[in-house]
């Protein structure tokens, strides 16, 4: 989670830190030097969103000599004030609680986060793989010891702060912004003993004028996934917006936006199982013109330069790039955005559809941040929603099958910043 950094465009002017007995706003003069000194002396700043402050730590930004970032200590996001940029909803109210500390392990001493994956990042002999129906691989059924493909995408989306919304973000969240934040979120993440960032391909915004340069950068990154005789083939990780997944002249292909000159091949088995595994996501995408469909996939690259998808998962998002599971969550999210609310969107990670999940957490209310739940078919009992959170936390429930959307908890006006 990147709360405040130097030179990366993600500074939070409202954040105030106590460092060495002095207080600094995140964008104030002297802040850069102060966190650099704190890193060198192993001093831990305090976020002063509350009277007593909340302990943070300083990590070096990967690939830089001078960049540092102030990060919250592991498992302390809910200890911050709801309107603080470092606030995070209680882990138990989303799928994060299942994987935190097991599939996701953060080391404040090094600033690195180790991710355990339940999918391969090297070429598996045989045909392409599809996550099992009803979840995203065996990790859903076996618990949170490893991240599924969907779980990894949800984690990066959270870390990139793309689950957060406030009115000041309106009109500023483009694919370029989404890409930049996702790449920053992947920094200092280790998966299967390797840098996640080095394996992650997210298409840059396409430009006809710069077509050749863009293609050259793409192929340079993909070169590590080209098969070499006698050696295991590395797989790349793709995150992109889907344009279409359709039959090709031979086999099937996925076309993603900003890569108009190169489709991703997929085999018939993978294509045929898409409708069964991702029927609800594809139905939402087909019915709503303003829904973007995000794909996360592992892929190999043939010696001819053709990429082939090995395993994939899909994530529908709104025009603001906020994830939604179905049409009812879309209605709630659109209501929150239209009403000018500030909130954090909940994500399922490895949790199955039968588990209760807070669709959103409001961060613009007095006192505790209310959890908003949409009652889904098969989870009718109110207790299943209340037991996922602390009894002191306000809970809002909407059962679309028998009622119109209730009034939302009242909000308190807060100043907002840009994305």
Pairing verdict, β 371-374 and 16-19: unpaired
Of residues 5 and 272, more confidence is placed in 272
Q: Is the pLDDT of residue 8 over 60?
A: no
> Does 57 fall in a domain?
yes
For residues 8-26, average pLDDT:
72
* pLDDT tens-digit readout, 122-156: 985 444 444 443 344 332 333 568 999 999 999 99
> Does 159 fall in a domain?
no
Report the distance separating Cα 60 and Cα 6, nearest Å.
10
Pairing verdict, β 189-191 and 112-115: parallel
Residue 414: pLDDT band (50, 70, 90) is very low
* pLDDT tens-digit readout, 380-411: 555 555 565 667 788 999 999 889 999 999 98
Q: Is the pLDDT of residue 285 over 80?
A: yes
In whole angstroms, what separates CA 83 from the centre of its chain?
20
Query: Residue 31: enclosing H or E segment and its boundaries?
Result: helix 31-40
Q: Which domain holds residue 350?
A: 327-398
Q: Please give the angle made by the CA atoms of 344, 279 and 321, to the nearest 5 degrees.
A: 30
Return the pLDDT at 333: 98
> Does 94 fall in a domain?
no
* pLDDT tens-digit readout, 251-261: 999 999 999 99
Return the pLDDT at 106: 92
* pLDDT tens-digit readout, 85-109: 889 888 888 899 899 999 999 998 8
Report the distance separating Cα 24 and Cα 183, nearest Å.
27
Q: Which of 164-178, 259-273, 368-382 has the lowest mean pLDDT?
A: 368-382
> Does 150 fall in a domain?
no
* Structure-token pair, residue 332: 């709630």
Of 33, 55, 84, the one marking the end of a domain is 84
Return the pLDDT at 66: 57
What are the start-end ranges of the E strands in 73-180? Answer: 104-107, 112-115, 164-165
Phi, psi (rounded to 5 degrees) for 337:
-65, -45
Of residues 158 and 127, more confidence is placed in 158
Bridge partners of 253, per DSSP, are 246, 265
Of 42, 57, 84, the one marking the end of a domain is 84
> Does 41 fall in a domain?
yes
CB 158 within 8 A of CB 128: no
Average pLDDT, the chain: 86
Return the pLDDT at 339: 96
Share of the chain above pLDDT 90, in %: 65
Pairing verdict, β 46-47 and 54-60: antiparallel
Return the pLDDT at 383: 57
Q: How many domains does the chain have?
A: 2
Q: Is the pLDDT of residue 78 over 90?
A: no
Residue 12: pLDDT band (50, 70, 90) is very low
Phi, psi (rounded to 5 degrees) for 141:
-80, -30
> Does 113 fall in a domain?
no
Report the distance separating Cα 357 and Cα 374, nearest Å.
8
CB 112 within 8 A of CB 121: no
CB 298 within 8 A of CB 132: no
Q: Compute CA distances 188 → 55, 70, 108, 112, 224, whole Å.
A: 21, 14, 11, 5, 19
For residues 182-197, average pLDDT:
94
Q: Is the pLDDT of residue 218 over 50?
A: yes
Q: Is the pLDDT of residue 264 over 50?
A: yes
Pairing verdict, β 54-60 and 104-107: unpaired
Residue 282: pLDDT band (50, 70, 90) is very high
> Does 46 fall in a domain?
yes
Query: Side by side, which strands form the sheet with 343-345?
Result: 164-165, 343-345, 360-362, 371-374, 395-398
Return the pLDDT at 378: 62
> Does 15 fall in a domain?
yes
Share of the chain above pLDDT 70, in %: 85
Residue 14: pLDDT band (50, 70, 90) is low
Q: Compute CA distances 296 → 242, 330, 387, whole Å.
A: 10, 21, 32
pTM for this prediction: 0.87
Q: Is the pLDDT of residue 9 over 50?
A: no
Residue 375: pLDDT band (50, 70, 90) is confident
Q: Compute CA distances 70 → 3, 17, 33, 45, 326, whole Å.
A: 6, 9, 12, 8, 35
* Structure-token pair, residue 11: 């500074």
Of 18, 53, 84, the one marking the end of a domain is 84
């Amino acid at each position: 989670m990147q709360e405040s950094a130097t030179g990366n465009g993600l500074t939070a002017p409202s954040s105030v830190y106590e460092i060495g007995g002095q207080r600094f706003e995140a964008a104030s003069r002297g802040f850069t030097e102060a966190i650099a000194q704190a890193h060198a002396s192993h001093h831990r700043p305090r976020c002063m969103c509350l009277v007593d402050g909340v302990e943070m730590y300083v990590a070096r930004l990967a690939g830089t000599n001078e960049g540092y970032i102030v990060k919250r200590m592991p498992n302390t996001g809910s200890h911050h004030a709801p309107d603080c940029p470092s606030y995070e909803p209680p882990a138990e109210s989303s799928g994060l609680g299942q994987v935190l500390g097991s599939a996701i392990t953060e080391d404040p001493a090094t600033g690195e986060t180790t991710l355990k994956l339940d999918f391969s990042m090297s070429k598996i002999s045989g045909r392409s793989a599809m996550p099992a129906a009803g979840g995203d691989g065996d990790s859903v059924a076996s618990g949170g010891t490893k991240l599924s493909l969907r779980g990894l995408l949800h984690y990066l989306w959270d870390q990139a702060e793309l689950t957060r919304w406030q009115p000041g973000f309106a009109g500023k969240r483009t694919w370029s912004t989404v890409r930049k934040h996702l790449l920053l979120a992947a920094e200092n993440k280790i998966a299967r003993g390797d840098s996640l960032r080095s394996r992650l391909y997210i298409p840059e915004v396409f430009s006809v004028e710069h077509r050749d340069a863009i293609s050259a950068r793409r192929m340079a990154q993909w070169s590590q996934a080209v098969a070499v005789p006698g050696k295991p083939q590395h797989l790349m990780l793709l995150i992109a917006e889907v344009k279409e997944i359709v039959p090709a002249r031979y086999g099937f292909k996925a076309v993603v936006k900003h890569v108009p000159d190169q489709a991703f091949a997929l085999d018939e088995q993978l294509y045929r199982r898409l409708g069964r595994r991702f029927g609800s996501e594809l139905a939402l995408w087909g019915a709503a013109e303003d829904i973007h469909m995000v794909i996360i996939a592992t892929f190999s690259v043939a010696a001819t330069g053709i990429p082939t998808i090995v395993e994939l998962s899909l994530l529908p998002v709104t025009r603001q790039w906020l994830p939604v599971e179905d049409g009812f969550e879309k209605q709630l999210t659109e209501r929150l955005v239209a009403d000018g609310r500030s909130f954090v969107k909940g994500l399922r990670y490895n949790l199955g559809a039968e588990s209760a999940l807070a669709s959103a957490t409001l961060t613009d209310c007095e006192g505790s941040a209310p959890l908003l739940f949409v009652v889904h078919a098969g989870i009718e009992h109110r207790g299943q929603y209340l037991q996922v959170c602390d009894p002191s936390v306000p809970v809002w429930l909407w059962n679309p099958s028998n009622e119109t959307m209730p009034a939302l908890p009242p909000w308190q006006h807060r100043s907002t910043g840009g994305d």
